[in-house]
Structure 1
Amino acid sequence: MNPLKSVQWLNENKNNPKLIVLEASLKSTANETNAIINQHIPNALSFDISTVFSDTSNSLPNMVPSEAQFTAAAQNLGIDSDSIIVVYDTIGVYSSPRAWWLFLTMNHAPVFVLDGGLPEWIANDYATSATLKTPNVKGDFIAKYKPALISNRFDILENLDTQTKTVIDARSPDRFAGITLDSRKEARSGHIPHSKNIFFEAVLNGTTLKSKAELASIFETVVAEDKPLIFTCGSGITACIDALAATVVGIENLSIYDGSWSEWGMLPEAPVETKQ
């Protein structure tokens, strides 16, 4: 299933009673200066990744919430088991893939990312709203966690020995190589040994994803073996952009390292490589 929907599709299907449009937001991001403020797609609901749809009891940012937390939050948005969900963000394709992956992780398959997000919607002269919609009904969605879609540090440590999976790091080449210091002062710089680098910006063409052919070429160049892929980044957000791109290509058997560098870079027992 193609995980993307175009703004044209959304405009044509905006009156579908099963459609739920979610604006995925983060508390703060490095890309927030590119965000559009005070404009929203009409009838969109707020999908707060940083607090409502994250495990805030964990010291690490953006960690997957429990089934119970996700169920309650989704129901509060009026989401049903048969809802067709389209998620977008105000940058283009940035935080929306994280929301997409969370729904897949909680066993809701009819979920899509709006390719180009709000910038593409506005570029096509579609109407916007000054405010987000306030939920007025409770849904019947029930989350069912799919652990195969999320990896943890123990999976990564085991893979250092087995090398049965390929780890893809979505951070910038300089951060991957350890040239640029990590934004978290206590974290080391560098990358997980044996991991490959596909900078999330490399799969984008401005605010949209690159074509399927272009994405296939990127993955063929970096991923030489047919192994399951684990995506990582700084805090589990941009890893989902790479996972989205891989899904568009048709690559299966993917997971996200939820702790990502926020965790790995802080673990004294975790080996780190640098590459100049």
Structure 2
Amino acid sequence: MMSLKINSPLVSVDWLFSNLENEHLIILDATIPKVTSKEEGIGEKHQIKNAIFFDIQAVFSDKNAPFPNTILSPKEFEEKAQELGINNNSCIVVYDDLGMYSSPRVWWLFQLMGFKNIAVLNDGFPEWKKKEYPIEKPFSHQPKRGNFRVDYQPQKVKFTEDVLKEIENDKFLIADARSKGRFYATEPEPRKGLKGGHIPNSISFPITEIIVDGKLKSAKDLKEIFKEKNPKNKDFIFSCGSGITAAVLALGAEIAGFKNHAVYDGSWTEWASTENLPIEK
């Protein structure tokens, strides 16, 4: 069977259902709890049939790093992806239980590692359940080791020293995915003791501006929104609380046709925790 090819960073639940039995398809459940949510998990966990849990926090983040959700080294990522049974000719669809929250982070991680045949499930698990497509209780997979190889793309990620350098550089536009309240420090950060405010010269671009009911807005709307935010077509640097929702903006930018974008991996948690960095409110 020929490998399944994805031409867009987004696929519908109908597309996924029609390709569910394809031998090259790998479905990743990238659900993590929302950092701003006070609710505990409600009810029993289910997943899309054949899904494999992609553990962003415990497996695909550097556990020795001082800040949450720090990217793995390319070598470690390759190793962990192979353990999930991912091959070079795999076709990956990633989703999360909230519709559109943590799944774009996984899409972005694979872009960073040079793998293109991956898409986010638009509207995620809520839409899948609504259509009554097949679900199951999670179980432990023991997949055959894959032959996935990393082709690292360093231009897709920024670190604190890069962002500090780019603040004054007119070629870049730093866009912050957190709420306006957090951006302007009129509401507290969800992480206890973290200072409020934003990176100087950055703009507020909450993900709520591009998502409706857990679904990304249309490509046409995204083009207009991103053009309005970035009329001079600068290179985007996306930031957020800890690198998760910045990837939602990266996904939106990709669909809107803005190809030059990077995610600030440490994001606000690292910026606000680092001594002597400039902060605006």
Q: Against the structure 1 CA distance between its residues 8 and 34, is the aligned structure 2 distance closer, same or farther, given a 3 Å change threshold? A: farther
What residue number does 1:191 align with? 198
CA contact (8 A) 2:188 2:196 kept: yes
What residue number does 1:22 align with? 28
Give the Cα separation in 1 of the matches to 2:38 and 2:62.
22
What residue number does 1:260 align with? 267
CA contact (8 A) 1:44 1:133 kept: no
What residue number does 1:6 align with? 12
Give the Cα separation in 1 of the matches to 2:164 and 2:178.
20
Q: Against the structure 1 CA distance between its residues 82 and 35, is the aligned structure 2 distance closer, same or farther, given a 3 Å change threshold? A: farther
Match status 1:109 vs 2:116: yes
What residue number does 2:65 align with? 58
Which ranges of structure 2 fall in alignment gaps of 5 or more residues?
Answer: 1-6
Aligned-partner SS, 1:231: strand
What residue number does 2:186 align with? 179
Aligned-partner SS, 1:29: coil
In the TM superposition, residue 32 of structure 1 has moved relative to its aligned partner by 7.6
Which ranges of structure 1 fall in alignment gaps of 5 or more residues?
Answer: none
Mapping of 1:106-145 within 5 angstroms? 106-132=113-139, 134-145=141-152
CA contact (8 A) 1:168 1:229 kept: yes
Give the Cα separation in 2 of the matches to 1:193 and 1:29.
24
Q: Against the structure 1 CA distance between its residues 51 and 109, is the aligned structure 2 distance closer, same or farther, given a 3 Å change threshold? A: same
Give the Cα separation in 1 of the matches to 2:25 and 2:58.
24
CA contact (8 A) 2:31 2:98 kept: no
CA contact (8 A) 1:42 1:132 kept: no
Give the Cα separation in 2 of the matches to 1:115 and 1:185.
32
Residue by residue over 1:37-79, the C-alpha shift from the partner in whole angstroms, topping out at 9 and shown as x without a partner, is 5211000001000011011110110011012211111111100
Match status 1:167 vs 2:174: yes
Residue by residue over 1:87-118, the C-alpha shift from the partner in whole angstroms, topping out at 9 and shown as x without a partner, is 00011011100011001111111011000110
In the TM superposition, residue 34 of structure 1 has moved relative to its aligned partner by 8.9
Q: Against the structure 1 CA distance between its residues 72 and 124, is the aligned structure 2 distance closer, same or farther, given a 3 Å change threshold? A: same
Q: Against the structure 1 CA distance between its residues 34 and 99, is the aligned structure 2 distance closer, same or farther, given a 3 Å change threshold? A: farther
Q: Give the number of equivalent residue pairs.
A: 274
Give the Cα separation in 1 of the matches to 2:25 and 2:41.
24
What residue number does 1:251 align with? 258
CA contact (8 A) 1:171 1:197 kept: yes
Q: 1:85 aligns with which of 73, 81, 92?
A: 92
**Normalising to structure 1: TM-score of the pair?**
0.95
What residue number does 1:42 align with? 49
Q: Against the structure 1 CA distance between its residues 31 and 209, is the aligned structure 2 distance closer, same or farther, given a 3 Å change threshold? A: farther
CA contact (8 A) 1:44 1:132 kept: no
Match status 1:240 vs 2:247: yes
Give the Cα separation in 2 of the matches to 1:27 and 1:249.
28
Give the Cα separation in 2 of the matches to 1:14 and 1:193.
46
**Normalising to structure 2: TM-score of the pair?**
0.93
CA contact (8 A) 1:45 1:135 kept: no
Identical aligned pairs, as a percentage? 38
CA contact (8 A) 2:36 2:190 kept: no
Aligned AA for 1:16? N
